[in-house]
Amino acid sequence: MATKIKGVLFDKDGTLFKYGNTWQVWCDRVILEMAGNDIALQYSLADGCGYDIKTKEFTPGSLVVNASAREINLVWAEIHPELNYQQIEAIGVDKLKNLPVIPVCDLSDMLASLKTMGLKVGCATNDFESSAKMQLEEAEIYDQFDFVCGFDSGHGAKPGPGMLQAFAEQCGMAAAEAVMVGDSTHDLHCGQSAGAALCIGVLTGPAKAEDIQDHADVILGSIELLPEYLKRVM
């Protein structure tokens, strides 16, 4: 039986854009700014957010991968002996500038295919809304989105249902007519908790198939495969 689908809500990092190219650089910059040459503090801050300074990889359950910017900053504020939350947030926001943004595929072409199918498209991230819009603009795809939100947009953060619910409401559909696409359990749980028609996992982020297979209706290698998959199930 065909599934009634009217829209697709994408996670940003690890789904639209290659994860490590952006956030490994960001972590290195922020931690160095906060800790300076204090190696012990560098390691404490990195451990606190789930980032391995030596390997430049994110550990299982990493806050950088899963949590909102606010949650990461709160943890860092507890660890840092001098900086408070507001100071840490300011550093994090400043280091969002000029980050490498590497699309996982030809995003404009992929989004155009979804639009041709009559679908609305949105982006929901646990990053700041302003950062999301900046990255989408840099990739020259912002105008193709009907909805963009971050953890600070007033809809809550993933894994809560608010982002998908807001996307559905703004675009004139029921949550059960939307598809959630992401690379982490937080993305998939957002879709599940909102009652999405489908929760689709992708393997372009830090998670492996075994990390998300129990939480997704289907796993695709990349969103590049999404239009053809949806044509088969709609």
Q: Which domains does the chain have, with CATH numbers?
A: 7-17+102-233 (3.40.50.1000), 20-94 (no CATH)
Q: What is the pTM of this model?
A: 0.87
Length of the chain counted residue by residue: 234
Which H or E run includes 142?
none
Place of tokens 């004139």: 172
How high is the pLDDT of residue 213?
94
- Is residue 30 within 8 A of residue 73, CB to CB? The reply is no
How high is the pLDDT of residue 20?
82
Integer CA distances (angstroms), 234 to 3, 72, 214, in order: 5, 38, 23
Buried b (16+ CB within 10 A) or exposed e, 134-148: bbbeebebeebbbbb
Strand order in the sheet with 218-220: 147-149, 120-124, 7-10, 178-182, 198-202, 218-220
- The DSSP code for 143 is G
Compute φ and ψ for 179, nearest 5 degrees: -110, 135
Cα Dmax for the chain: 60
How high is the pLDDT of residue 1?
39
Cα separation, 135 vs 133, in Å, equals 5
pLDDT, tens only, 43-53: 999 999 999 99
Q: Which residues of the chain have pLDDT under 70?
A: 1-3
